[in-house]
């Protein structure tokens, strides 16, 4: 028989500890600018899900309060310095900030990333060959047009498309699926965007309409309480 000391846990009773997550709020040294324009301050830095925030919190005799708020999507680069204890943040407008975080700098580099946008769920990038047709979800339409300028003005006879976004509110709106299916490149996708509260259209009806023209259904994306998108793709 084996033996154990009083401090040794009984077999099977060991507790597995998760790696402790780095804090998202720390006292840091903060540098703004470079060279002779560099200004150094001390204060509190906080990372939310979408923004980096720094402020000195000083008032009165200690000087005026100073703060910087940066959305993650404003950052052109986040570089972990060779020391691995500080980060250099460069914005899309060219502003440079250096944050001396300490041992948590590598974890903060991972935190300082924008969450995947809605278009990432669809796989849309600026290089996607996409045709944007009128959609019931105007926010999604605006995002696509901003990402791929001219997507809403693609000629009707354009083929070899990777994606088509089609808005539908009634079964009659799905009659054009056969035409759009012929415009797709192999593996191309028609995203059908429709109101979830519509009495005249259901996901099952969209699925069947796609199957009737040779398109297979894939995942569905819930855009909001009011709109959903169903993926119909052409087999490669």
pLDDT of residue 216: 94
How far apart (Å, rounded) are the C-alpha atoms in residues 108 and 123?
A: 27
How far apart (Å, rounded) are the C-alpha atoms in residues 51 and 46?
A: 8
- Where b means 16+ CB within 10 Å and e means fewer, 79-103 reads ebeeeeebbebbeeeeebbbbbbee
Question: Domain 25-111: which topology?
Answer: PH-domain like (2.30.29)
CATH superfamily of 118-234: Vaccinia Virus protein VP39 (3.40.50.150)
Are 158 and 198 a contacting pair, CB within 8 Å? Answer: no
How far apart (Å, rounded) are the C-alpha atoms in residues 31 and 42?
A: 9
pLDDT of residue 18: 44
pLDDT of residue 74: 86
Q: Where are the domains of the chain?
A: 25-111, 118-234
How far apart (Å, rounded) are the C-alpha atoms in residues 169 and 198?
A: 7
- What residues have CB less than 8 Å from 219, skipping those under 6 apart? 231
pLDDT of residue 17: 47
The pTM (predicted TM-score) of the whole model is 0.56
pLDDT of residue 16: 40
**What does pLDDT average to in each consecutive run of 10 residues of the chain (236 residues)?**
52 49 92 87 91 80 77 88 91 91 93 77 91 92 91 95 95 94 95 81 92 93 87 88
| Helical spans, DSSP H, in the chain | 105-111, 118-122, 138-147, 177-183, 203-212
pLDDT of residue 69: 93
């Amino acid at each position: 028989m084996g033996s154990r000391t009083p401090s040794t846990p009984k077999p099977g009773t060991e507790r597995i500890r998760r790696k402790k997550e780095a804090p998202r709020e720390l006292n840091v040294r903060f540098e703004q600018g470079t060279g002779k324009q560099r200004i150094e301050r001390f204060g509190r830095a906080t990372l939310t899900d979408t923004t980096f925030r720094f402020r000195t919190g000083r008032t009165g005799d200690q000087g005026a309060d100073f703060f910087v708020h940066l959305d993650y999507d404003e950052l052109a680069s986040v570089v972990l310095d060779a020391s691995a204890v500080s980060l250099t943040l460069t914005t899309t407008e060219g502003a440079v900030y250096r944050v001396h975080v300490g041992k948590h700098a590598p974890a903060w580099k991972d935190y300082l990333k924008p969450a995947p946008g809605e278009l990432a769920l669809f796989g849309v990038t600026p290089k996607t060959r996409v045709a944007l047709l009128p959609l019931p979800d105007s926010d999604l339409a605006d995002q696509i047009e901003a990402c791929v300028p001219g997507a809403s003005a693609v000629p009707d006879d354009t083929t070899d498309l990777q994606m088509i976004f089609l808005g539908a509110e009634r079964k009659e709106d799905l009659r054009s699926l056969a035409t759009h299916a012929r415009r797709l490149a192999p593996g191309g996708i028609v995203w059908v965007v429709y109101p979830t509260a519509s009495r005249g259209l259901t996901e099952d009806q969209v699925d069947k309409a796609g199957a009737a023209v040779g398109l297979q259904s894939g995942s569905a994306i819930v855009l909001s309480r009011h709109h959903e998108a169903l993926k119909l793709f052409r087999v490669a």
